Amino acid sequence: MSCASCVAKIEKAFAAKEVEARVNLADKQVSVAAGLPVAEAVALLLSAGYRAEPITDAASAMADKAEHDAREYRTRIRQAIAGLGLGIPLMIWGLAGGDMMIHDSQSQLIWGAMGLLTLLLLVTTGGHFFSGMWRSLKAKSANMDTLIALGTGTAWLYSMLVVLIPGFFPDGTRHVYFEASVMILGLINLGHALELRARGKTSEAVQKLIGLQSNTAIKITEDGDETVAIAALVVGDKLRLRPGDRVALDGEVLSGNSLLDESMLTGEPIPVAKSVGDSLSAGTVNGNGSLIYQVTAGPADTRLAKIIALVQEAQTSKMPIGRLTDKIAAVFVPVVVVIALLAAIIWYFAGPEPALSHALVVLTSVLIIACPCALGLATPMSIMVSVGRAASMGVLVKNGEALQTASKVSCVVLDKTGTITEGKPAVTQVDIFDDAFDERELLRAVASLEQHSGHPLAAALLDAAKVKEVVLSEPQGFDYRQGQGLLGQFEGRQWAVGNSKLMDALGIRLTETHQARLEQGAALGYTQVLVARDNQLLALVGISDPIKADAKEAMAAL
């Protein structure tokens, strides 16, 4: 597929069979509604003039396409250099006043040699346009390749006729257009190369999302643990999730406790505690615990798979303006050819003598000028690039219509703090209830204990101690309690660092003042850590995700 008219043609071929199909020009993929056999879908595409093969594994298909695009990009760049390498000097020669007319046998000889060189470039740098035109003609249709091949071929043929039989043409029309042929090929090949780069960047977003999917999982069987491919798993299978592993498929925890990094789904930096009965999402990363979970959704039905499908669907979705350009692009090529022929016929019957020569000049001019179908390329490419760029920056666009409507948005609601925050928890408030105790002493004791914890809040407390240049020591005892916090011995005193559940378990009572401070911190969005020493509440540490330095500027820009 090369342009918007290809998209329209393929959609029309499937619509004729009353089958819904979505065409993704960026990834050169066609998604066909369930019910149509794969072989029939491939045959239908072939009848429309396009070779195709079914995708069985999205990740390998993306890798194959990336490799193919890289090869095609290098080829198009070489072809562009060759075409422009001859075309630009010829164009400069003409613009500088150089003679591009056929007057005598010497100019015939020079331009005849140039015509043969141009023919060589037509074959080597433009062969794919001519073969594309042939395929579309066999499918009884026309596309961008048709226009390019007709324009460049007609320009070369006209120029060669001028060289061979100059006497057939009126004095003012014995002009050669060899530079137009090679310039058009050079520029369009360069355009295709740039388009391939843009498509590559667009597809990177989907590739990154596909990269979050696991290829294998540890399945618990009667014969013990077994590493199996994701495709071999079914709903109900029991899987083991080791520390640091990525969740293979959506599921429900059957046993174990752990913290999972769900930032790829929610944008929130703090891992979420998971225990029996909690749901897991494919692509999220396990912390330091071990879990056994049961698969609740197949590979195509996970939340991550749906996000990938959403991005791909957004790239193929039609904006109102996109639908308009598709309608125009679908008839653009045949209309241009008809206009060129009509203009030539009018000049032949109503124009001055020699009528045939003038008609040929007019036919050539219309075909050359109409050649680069900018309208058909610009709108769909802008949708693909913008949706892909947004996805790579973490912004998912539901469809093209939403993108076009965005220019009229007057109110923006941010439902995630991670949108305007650093994404890294930090200590933002320390309340000490004992006047005889200072912040450095508190951080020294707490951070010394937290050295042995892998919790993300522990990292925030250690960073705070580092900022204060506190020297840490080794605790005499350490006990981690899942979902509550930790206990430890430090310099002969018993310390407890955790949430209110830990305080309740230890029988530490919170006064009304403490409760008021907790409510105040909660209102400010802090994650609060309670610190007790020898069963007496000593301090309250507020941890939050700091607002980005440029968040205010970004809001003002919005």
List active site positions.
415
For residues 338 and 356, give the distance between their C-alpha atoms in angstroms, rounded to a whole number.
Answer: 18
Scored b (16 or more CB within 10 A) or e, 118-150 reads: beebbeebbebbbebbebbeebebbbbbbbbbb
**Quick one: tokens of 60?**
């390998």
What's the Rg (C-alpha) of the chain?
34
Nearest to 220, CA basis, from 295, 275, 273: 295
Determine whether 10 is exposed, middle or buried from the number of CB atoms within 10 Å of its CB (0-12, 13-18, 19+).
buried
For residue 365, what are the contacts with CB-CB under 8 A and spacing of at least 6? none
Query: Helices marked H in 286-397 — which ranges?
Result: 303-316, 320-350, 355-369, 374-392
Q: Are 148 and 371 in contact (CB under 8 A)?
A: yes
For residues 305 and 14, give the distance between their C-alpha atoms in angstroms, rounded to a whole number.
Answer: 25
Cα torsion for 70, 72, 73, 75, to the nearest 10°?
A: 130
Q: Are 198 and 172 in contact (CB under 8 A)?
A: no
Q: Edge-to-edge strands of the sheet including 272-274?
A: 272-274, 258-261, 285-286
Q: Are 329 and 5 in contact (CB under 8 A)?
A: yes
Q: How far apart are the first and last CA of the chain?
A: 37
Query: Helices marked H in 139-211 — which ranges?
Result: 144-164, 178-211
Nearest to 456, CA basis, from 271, 257, 226, 217: 271
Q: Which DSSP symbol is given to 469? A: T
**Quick one: tokens of 156?**
């070369």
478: helix, strand or coil = strand
